[in-house]
Amino acid sequence: MIKKALFALAATVAMSATQAAPDKTECIAPAKPGGGFDLTCKLAQGGLQGGNFIDSPMRVTYMPGGIGAVAYNTVIAQRPDEAGTIVAFSGGSLLNLAIGKFGRYGVNDVKWLGTAGADYGAIIVRADSPFQSLKDLMAALKADPTSVVFGAGGSVGSQDWMKSALVAKAAGVDFKAMRYVAFEGGGEAMTALQGGHVKVYSGDASEVAAHLKGGRVRVLGILSADRLPGELSAIPTAKEQGYDVQWPIIRGFYVGPKVADADYAWWVATFDKMLVSPEFAKLREAQGLFPFDMTGAKLDAYVKERVKHYAELAKEFGMVAQ
């Protein structure tokens, strides 16, 4: 068994070493221009071209619909074997995949390729908030769930709502008793927080740095497994404060289910090189993302674990599949 595994690994490495880059490359952003999917494709485009990993410019095309559902179905059904085509996905894509919003196709119907980076949930309050720590917030929630108003840029069932619901759950509060206000986006939610219309904003770590410098907000906890690097390194995670609430917001890519093994191996090996390059690190940091390097089989296992986890949460929180 061990010999077979080693032989397979050696064969994969050999294939990736000898396989040439695709003649034409394309990244499909499953949304309109601008926004997270576009950013994800632009990161791949810049990293691959800047590191001379591809011979010709990568084209970015747009295929909006269903937080990735239209692109997922199109690639599987109509473009399953295109060696040069990668498709962007996000944590929101995986959440919708878990609750059945991607239609008849599931997590096993594509080949998961590699990541571009990640953001993480953050529990944010005004600078003058009486909540000095996550423990203070949890105590207030437990004493009277209606006294704490959460706000974020997403409707009930969205990623931002899930962050709030998980915090309520950690406090021992039924999520149905949680007060939550949905806004059009993170900017609107941050404005509402600073105006005192909500008490807590369940946002993202990447968007708070500028506000922290202005002294307008505080972050009670980051929803990551470990502390983040750089300017946010002094902010404790929820986990280290005794509440194992984590919400990674990953950004990555997959390829069609019938892409040849040799082509897939080339992509994996190329992403392995790109992700550790200093040039890509600068591109990622400029876009407000944090390191999250995962490719091939490791990413495949991670995505499947996430989808399973999201499906369990969806069932627990009464989110019905469409």
pLDDT tens-digit profile of 189-234?
Answer: 999 999 999 999 999 998 887 788 888 899 999 999 999 988 899 9
What pLDDT is recorded for position 322?
43
Q: Sort 177 into a burial class: Cβ within 10 Å, 0-12 / 13-18 / 19+.
A: exposed
- Bridge partner residues of 119 (DSSP): 249
Handedness of CA 78, 80, 84, 85 (dihedral sign): positive
Query: Where exactly does CATH 3.40.190.10 map onto the chain?
Result: 120-241
What pLDDT is recorded for position 42?
95
DSSP 22: P
State the CB neighbour count (10 A cutoff) for residue 282. 13
Query: Does residue 70 register a pLDDT over 80?
Result: yes
Task: Report the C-alpha gap between 42 and 45 in whole angstroms.
Answer: 5
Residues near 312 by Cβ (< 8 Å), separated by ≥ 6?
none
What pLDDT is recorded for position 320?
61
Task: Report the C-alpha gap between 127 and 53 in whole angstroms.
Answer: 46
Residues near 52 by Cβ (< 8 Å), separated by ≥ 6?
none
Q: What is the pLDDT of residues 224-276, one digit of tens each?
A: 999 998 889 999 999 999 999 999 999 999 999 999 999 999 999 999 999 99
DSSP 295: B
Query: Where exactly does CATH 3.40.190.150 map onto the chain?
Result: 2-118+248-316
Contact between 257 and 16 (Cβ < 8 Å) = no
By DSSP bridging, strand 200-204 and strand 149-152 are parallel
Q: What is the pLDDT of residues 161-173, one digit of tens each?
A: 999 999 999 999 9
CATH 3.40.190.150 fits 2-118+248-316, yes or no: yes
What pLDDT is recorded for position 23?
86
What pLDDT is recorded for position 16?
45
Residues near 170 by Cβ (< 8 Å), separated by ≥ 6?
138, 238, 243, 244, 245
What amino acid occupies position 39? L
pLDDT confidence bin for 9, thresholds 50/70/90: very low
What pLDDT is recorded for position 10?
47
pLDDT confidence bin for 90, thresholds 50/70/90: very high
pLDDT confidence bin for 18, thresholds 50/70/90: low
What pLDDT is recorded for position 15?
46
What mean pLDDT is predicted for residues 98-102? 90
Q: What is the pTM of this model?
A: 0.84
DSSP string, 109-131: GSEEEEEEEEEEEEEEEETT-S-
State the CB neighbour count (10 A cutoff) for residue 51. 16
- Architecture, CATH, for domain 120-241: 3-Layer(aba) Sandwich (3.40)
Higher-confidence residue: 228 or 159?
228
Q: What is the pLDDT of residues 115-138, one digit of tens each?
A: 999 999 999 999 999 999 999 999
Handedness of CA 44, 105, 184, 226 (dihedral sign): negative
Task: Report the C-alpha gap between 73 and 65 in whole angstroms.
Answer: 10
What pLDDT is recorded for position 178?
94
DSSP 205: G
